[in-house]
Amino acid sequence: MNQLKETMFGMAVGFVTMCLCLPVVLWIMSLAYSYEFAYFWKQFMNYSVYMSKYLSLACIPNLFWFYFFLNRERWTVARGVIFSVLVLVPFAIYVNF
């Protein structure tokens, strides 16, 4: 039962990190390409191809949590972080093909 709670905690950390980092990724892209933030947000909301790419970029900060929990030998929490990223994979495959 404790493993399930830790795995769910890891999944929650992964999903929250992804949701918080998505606007940051879009903001960095708006600075890099000299477009407005609203342009990239509109792409994300309206075009599923861009949605897949931006969500994939927002998953990169989850690597920090994965290695953080891995180094502290919290294996089940690290597994939950990986599961939260793997939930995105079927969506990305469906959209791109």
What percent helix, strand, coil does the chain show, rounded to 5? Answer: 85, 0, 15
Q: Find the farthest-apart pair of alpha carbons in the chain and give their distance in angstroms, rounded.
A: 50
> DSSP E strands: which ranges in 10-60?
none
**DSSP-derived 3-state class of residue 22:** helix
80-92: average pLDDT? 89
pLDDT tens digits for range 14-52: 999 999 999 999 999 999 999 999 999 999 999 888 988
pTM: 0.84
Share of the chain above pLDDT 90, in %: 72
pLDDT at 1: 61
